[in-house]
Amino acid sequence: MEQIITQIKQLKPEATITLLSLPDGDSMNTMWLNYGTHGVTEFLNERPKPEPEERGLIIHSPQKISYNSKGLTYIIVGQLSMDLGNFRVALNIVVDETQRKHRIKVDLSDFVSVEDRCKELSEKHGLDSHQLEADFNRIADLLELYKESLFEDEMTDLYSEKELTPRAMEKAVEFLQNPRLMKNIDSLLEKTGIIGEEDNRNVLFVVTSGYKMPYPLHCMVQGTSGGGKSHLINAIAECMPQEDLLDMTRITSKSLYHYRDKELVNKLVVIQDFDGLDDEAQFAFREIQTHKKLSSSTAIKDALGNTRGKIKTVHAHFASLVATTRAELYLDNMSRSVMLGIDESEAQTLRIIKRQNQKKAGLSNRDEEQEAKQLIRNCMRVLKSLQVVNPFADKLMLPLEAKMLRRLNEQFQDFVCQITLLHQYQRKTDSQGRLIATKEDIRTAVELFFSAIILKVDELDASTRQFFESIKTYVKSQTKGTTYKFTALEIRQATNKEKSTANRYIKTLQGLEYIQQVEGAANKGFKYVISYFDDMEKLKARVKQELNRQLDEL
């Protein structure tokens, strides 16, 4: 049948072809025998009349929209204003028969403008003014619907949550109900391609999982250039629902003040390089982290055209991941963030290289990676934002020597709450519907948060600490022991650091009086000795022992 229709269209392209369904068991021959010529004619006349096709806008691009009418084609060119009250457009009217083009500008919402244009086109070019007026009105109606649909689509993208299939939701809830939840999450993170960094990846996951919870946390990852800090935060961000991710390379000075009211609510913000933010952008980011809103006084015109002041407020509720090479420069930002340092050891480098080589050789299972990411994303989608009560909150005290202890303690307590929220399908609730944290949640939080606590106890940031430990190891290996005098060149070769990076660390250690310049000159080079040979491992053991003692007393 389709072949016959195609042949008819080739022979008579102007012909209208209608397909009719005959009554069951009948053919045209039997119908003629049973009902005669009159019956067949009546059947043909009673066929459903085709409804006239509703013409609509044809969207070629944001700069070109067309509408086809009887003998005319209207082409709207240029950027369309999204203001629902602005219908001033540039139109190209093409006569189909002659392909002659008439270019005009018309305000489709202004009756006088439409009437004048139609009259002018009719008198000068012989077009039907009544058809033009009807077409202009129809185009205005379609443009209004088109603008409304664009606005609704934008709002849907900003505020809607991705719906899960019943099976995906069931699988995610089943995963969250497993008593070995944190270990299973760690296994999934490894499957997604995060090699090593076991403590860091788990802390980052807990921090990011709270982006829509009552206790959002922020994390600053510090390391040298090329150390893998951006790779780590990006890998964690890929495990979160992508509809809630705001991935930023940089933030301009005033941009945070101009977001709409809910654009920064229940989002995960990732900043690839915090060093690229200027002072104004850093200030705005700090304020929005702490106060969860930004208020600015701006000038507007009122209904009478008078200029007056107005307070514009941007509300925010988000978790954030930022990467930096110079954490020591951002003291105010460090106090608001959980601090983590990248593992820059040789063993970690070898693990990363092995993973990269396996990926290039096609030995990694890409499907398994995607399945692991999708399961984690679905788990985030089924988690509910609930309040948490921690009956043991006053039973644990962090080390008093920790810097910025007030904020660190609040971050730790929020971290405990987030551990409880991840276990919400396993925890009991009180009479007010709040989840009740358990001793296991406290212990898990201490184990994961320990490295962040130590970084706040340590006077050195993560990268400088690793560099100083390398110097200590090198000095101990020399025959003269801890009094060995070393040069910057020796240390660069021993630590495999670039000259600028090594010199920056040496200058920092000198300023903090960990090393001392003892001899040499600018033209011949200097020699240094370690003036403060601290024992970081002993400090870690002491802090760990004290926290474990408090945990045992719970």
User: Is residue 451 assigned to a domain?
Assistant: no
Q: pLDDT for 31-40, tens place per residue?
A: 666 666 766 6
Give me the pLDDT at residue 43, please: 66
Q: pLDDT for 432-464, tens place per residue?
A: 999 999 999 999 999 999 988 888 888 888 888
Q: Average pLDDT of the chain? A: 85
Average pLDDT over residues 17-41: 67
φ/ψ of residue 163, rounded to 5 = -80, 145
Average pLDDT over residues 365-369: 86
Q: Considering 96, 127, 159, which residue would you say is the last residue of a domain?
A: 159
Q: Considering 356, 380, 404, which residue would you say is the last residue of a domain?
A: 380
**β-strands 293-301, 72-77: how paired?**
unpaired
Strand partners for 271: 248, 322
User: Is residue 87 assigned to a domain?
Assistant: yes
Count Cβ neighbours within 10 Å for each residue of 22-32 and write b for 16 or more, e otherwise: eeeeeeeeeee
Do residues 117 and 95 touch, judged by C-beta distance below 8 A?
Answer: no
Q: Is the predicted pLDDT of residue 366 greater than 70, yes or no?
A: yes
Q: Tell me, what CATH number does 507's domain have?
A: 1.10.10.10
- Return the minimum-mean-pLDDT range out of 96-110, 131-145, 146-160: 146-160
Average pLDDT over residues 469-496: 86
Q: Are 13 and 106 members of one domain? A: no
| Tally of CA atoms within 13 A in the half-sphere of 485 that contains its CB | 8
Give me the pLDDT at residue 476, please: 87
User: Is residue 211 assigned to a domain?
Assistant: yes
Q: Are 103 and 184 members of one domain? A: no
Q: What band does 5 get if pLDDT is binned at 50, 70 and 90?
A: low
- Containing 231, the helix (H) or strand (E) segment is helix 229-237
- Considering 78-87, 145-154, 410-419, the range whose residues carry the highest mean pLDDT is 410-419
Q: pLDDT for 302-316, tens place per residue?
A: 777 788 888 888 999
Q: Is the predicted pLDDT of residue 123 greater than 50, yes or no?
A: yes
Give me the pLDDT at residue 446, please: 93
Hunting for tokens 């964690």 — which residue is that? 236
Please state, in angstroms and rounded to a whole number, the distance separating the CA atoms of residues 420 and 392: 13
Q: Are 14 and 118 members of one domain? A: no
Please state, in angstroms and rounded to a whole number, the distance separating the CA atoms of residues 542 and 472: 20
**Burial (CB count within 10 angstroms: exposed 0-12, middle 13-18, buried 19+), residue 209:** buried
| Domain with 474 in it | 462-538
Q: What band does 15 get if pLDDT is binned at 50, 70 and 90?
A: low
Please state, in angstroms and rounded to a whole number, the distance separating the CA atoms of residues 347 and 328: 26
Q: Tell me, what CATH number does 374's domain have?
A: 3.40.50.300
User: Is residue 100 assigned to a domain?
Assistant: yes
What percent of the chain lies above the pLDDT cut of 90? 32
Please state, in angstroms and rounded to a whole number, the distance separating the CA atoms of residues 119 and 138: 18
Token pair, residue 210, equals 């709270």
Q: Which amino acid is at 309?
A: G
- Containing 529, the helix (H) or strand (E) segment is strand 525-530
User: Is residue 348 assigned to a domain?
Assistant: yes
What percent of the chain lies above the pLDDT cut of 70? 87
Q: Are 201 and 269 members of one domain? A: yes
Q: Are 121 and 262 members of one domain? A: no
Distances (CA, A) of 409 to 278, 328, 439: 29, 20, 17
- Containing 521, the helix (H) or strand (E) segment is strand 515-521
Q: What band does 154 get if pLDDT is binned at 50, 70 and 90?
A: low
Helices vs strands, H then E, count in the chain: 18, 16
Do residues 113 and 106 touch, judged by C-beta distance below 8 A?
Answer: yes
Please state, in angstroms and rounded to a whole number, the distance separating the CA atoms of residues 21 and 122: 47
Q: pLDDT for 495-511, tens place per residue?
A: 888 888 889 899 999 99
Q: Are 149 and 170 members of one domain? A: no
* Number of structural domains the chain divides into: 4
Give me the pLDDT at residue 384, please: 93
Please state, in angstroms and rounded to a whole number, the distance separating the CA atoms of residues 323 and 276: 10
Q: Is the predicted pLDDT of residue 52 greater than 50, yes or no?
A: no
Q: Considering 363, 380, 397, which residue would you say is the last residue of a domain?
A: 380
| Residue predicted with more confidence, 326 or 236 | 236
Q: Are 353 and 487 members of one domain? A: no
Token pair, residue 539, equals 């400090």
> What secondary structure letter does DSSP report for 21?
P
Strand order across the 515-521 sheet: 486-487, 525-530, 515-521
Q: Are 211 and 246 members of one domain? A: yes
DSSP SS3 for 57? coil
Q: Is the predicted pLDDT of residue 293 greater than 70, yes or no?
A: yes
Please state, in angstroms and rounded to a whole number, the distance separating the CA atoms of residues 132 and 262: 43
Q: Which amino acid is at 156?
A: T
Give me the pLDDT at residue 48, please: 53
Hunting for tokens 């991705």 — which residue is that? 162
Average pLDDT over residues 373-390: 93
User: Is residue 547 assigned to a domain?
Assistant: no
Q: Are 118 and 172 members of one domain? A: no
Q: Are 83 and 25 members of one domain? A: no
Average pLDDT over residues 324-339: 77
Q: pLDDT for 206-239, tens place per residue?
A: 999 999 999 999 999 988 887 788 889 999 999 9
User: Is residue 215 assigned to a domain?
Assistant: yes
Other C-beta atoms closer than 10 Å to the C-beta of 283 total 15
Q: Are 297 and 325 members of one domain? A: yes
Q: Are 230 and 106 members of one domain? A: no
Average pLDDT over residues 45-55: 53
User: Is residue 14 assigned to a domain?
Assistant: yes
Other C-beta atoms closer than 10 Å to the C-beta of 244 total 20
Give me the pLDDT at residue 359, please: 84
